[in-house]
């Protein structure tokens, strides 16, 4: 299995995806046409054009999943799949409606087709939607996502702001609440970082800020770029498992 899971697609002062250009080029080496899934935003054509403009600089053509009457047929013949960010509830609901959750997962798992996700697309690679930061603007049939890794990722992971007057929970507090209800490792991927999976190997990449790993009953652990996170691929997750 070949995965590239980006925390974010936009970085300060950089054009779309530019901060990850090198790792994307490596990940998609040999691919001439990419299937892009734009459902996380409302403007499918505009979103696909933005991705096509970036991929054009790598010599890769882009086809939007929404351009086919049966998007599943495009999945069946795809050389590589990219699911972009936006609202992850809207994205998952559309994937479900078009029968793409299992169809995409099968292509990635069984056929070794490279998968790339950013933000909501990275959420989709996890077992469930439970660690998204998005507002539940629509109701998907279930929270089950593609399950390309057996642990959860929190994209755009944010550290607490010292002295903030904001009375809401910090991201860390939210993830600790999640661990009260579920038994699953959660990797907080800071902006500018990503995960690469190649079969049984999982490595953290990107900016020095790195990632913060949360697990039940333990203090969070920091990981720096280059960290070998392969042990996470053996995680056995249990959801909604708090005794009543």
Q: Where do contacts with a copy of itself occur on this chain (CB under 8 A)?
A: 8, 10-12, 42, 86-87, 90, 93, 97, 128-139, 142-143, 156, 158, 165-168, 174-175, 177-178, 180-182, 191, 239-240, 242, 244
Identified catalytic residue from 7, 9, 88, 119: 119
Nearer to a copy of itself among residue 122 and residue 131 (C-beta): 131
Task: Report the nearest approach of a copy of itself to the CB of residue 93 (Å).
Answer: 8
> Is residue 159 annotated as part of the catalytic site, yes or no?
no
Cα→Cα distances 209→2, 87, 168, 172, 219, Å: 24, 25, 24, 16, 18
Residue 82 β-bridge partners: 36, 116
Nearer to a copy of itself, 62 or 179 (CB): 179
In the bound complex, what is the minimum distance in angstroms from residue 51's beta carbon to a copy of itself? 17
Q: Which is nearer to a copy of itself, 11 or 227 (CB)?
A: 11
Catalytic residue among 156, 183, 198, 223: 156
Distance from C-alpha of 100 to C-alpha of 231, rounded to nearest angstrom: 28
Residues 19, 7: contact at Cβ < 8 Å? no
CB of 147 to a copy of itself, least distance (A): 15
Active site residue 119: yes
- Find the shortest distance in angstroms from Cβ 131 to a copy of itself: 7
199 in catalytic set? no
Shortest Cβ 226–a copy of itself spacing (Å): 24
Report the residue number, 10 or 227, with the smaller CB distance to a copy of itself: 10
User: Of the two residues 182 and 193, which places its CB atom closer to a copy of itself in the complex?
Assistant: 182
Residues annotated as part of the active site = 119, 134, 156
């Amino acid at each position: 299995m070949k995965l590239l899971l980006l925390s974010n697609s936009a970085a300060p002062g950089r054009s779309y995806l530019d901060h990850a250009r090198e790792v994307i080029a490596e990940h998609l080496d040999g691919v001439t046409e990419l299937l892009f899934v734009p459902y996380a935003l409302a403007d499918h054509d505009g979103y696909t054009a933005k991705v096509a403009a970036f991929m054009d600089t790598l010599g890769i053509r882009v086809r939007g999943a929404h351009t086919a009457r049966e998007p599943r047929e495009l999945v069946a013949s795809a050389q590589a799949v990219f699911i972009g960010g936006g609202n992850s509830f809207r994205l998952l609901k559309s994937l479900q409606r078009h029968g793409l959750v299992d169809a995409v997962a099968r292509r990635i798992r069984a056929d070794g087709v490279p998968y790339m996700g950013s933000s909501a697309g990275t959420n989709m690679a996890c077992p469930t939607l439970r660690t998204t930061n998005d507002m539940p603007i629509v109701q998907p049939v279930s929270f089950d996502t593609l399950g390309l890794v057996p642990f959860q990722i929190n994209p755009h992971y944010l550290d607490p702001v010292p002295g903030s007057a904001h009375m809401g929970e910090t991201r860390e507090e939210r993830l600790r609440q999640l661990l009260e209800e579920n038994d699953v490792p959660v990797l907080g991927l800071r902006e500018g970082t990503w995960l690469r999976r190649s079969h049984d190997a999982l490595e953290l990449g990107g900016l020095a800020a790195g990632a913060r790993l949360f697990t039940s009953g333990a203090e969070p652990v920091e990981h720096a770029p280059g960290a070998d996170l392969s042990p996470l691929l053996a995680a056995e997750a249990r959801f909604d498992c708090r005794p009543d």
